[in-house]
Amino acid sequence: MSQSKGTILVIDDIAEVLEFCSACLTGHGYTVFTTTTVFCADVILREKPVLILLDVCMPGLPGDQVAQCFVGTDLLKYSSLVLHSNLPEVELWHKVKKTGADGYIPKCSSVEEFCQKVDDWIDRIHRGEIERLRLS
C-alpha cells in the first residue's frame, strides 16, 4: 500500500457531498475524514489534517462564521482552512477576505476537476505558499 498524500477533513451537512469528496480524494491517495458538524475540534486536533474543506452554507452556524472562530487558534496550527461551496467565486473570495480563511475551492461536478483543485492546493501548502502556515 502506498503512503497517503495527506490527511483532509471535509465538513459539510450534505451526506452526498461528503461521499463524493471522500470517494474522490481517497481514490486519489488521500486519507479523508468527514463530518456533518462544525463541532469537530477533537477530529482536527487528533488527525491534524493538512487541509480542511469547510462548507459555507451549513445550517445553524454557517461555515464562514465557523472559519472566523477557527482562524488564529491552535486548531489551524497545522491545517489550511479552505472554504468549499457552490456560491459564486466572487462571493467566496469576499468570504475568504472577511473570515481569514486561506482560500476557497468551488464545489465541482467533475471528479477530475475536484481532485486537481485539491492537488493544486496541497502543492501550494508544500511549497510554503500559505503564509499563515509558514508562521506557525
Domains of the chain by residue range? 7-129
**Domain 7-129 coded CATH 3.40.50.2300:** yes
Q: Is residue 84 packed enough to be buried (19+ CB in 10 Å), middle (13-18) or exposed (0-12)?
A: buried
φ and ψ at 100, to 5 degrees?
A: 85, 5
pLDDT of residue 63: 81
Helix (H) or strand (E) holding 103: strand 103-106
Q: Which three cell numbers stand for residue 102?
A: 486561506
Q: Does the reported pTM lie above 0.85?
A: yes
Q: Pairing state of beta strands 31-35 and 80-85?
A: unpaired
Per-residue pLDDT of the chain (136 residues; tens, 9 = 90+): 578 899 999 999 999 999 999 999 999 999 999 988 777 787 888 889 999 999 998 888 778 888 888 888 888 888 899 999 999 999 999 999 999 899 999 998 788 999 999 999 999 888 888 765 544 4
Q: Fill in the DSSP letter of residue 11.
A: E
In the chain, where does DSSP find H-type helix?
A: 15-27, 41-47, 63-70, 89-99, 111-126, 131-135
pLDDT of residue 105: 92
* Three-class DSSP category at 59: coil
Q: Pairing state of beta strands 103-106 and 80-85?
A: parallel
pLDDT of residue 1: 54
Q: Are 22 and 36 in contact (CB under 8 A)?
A: no
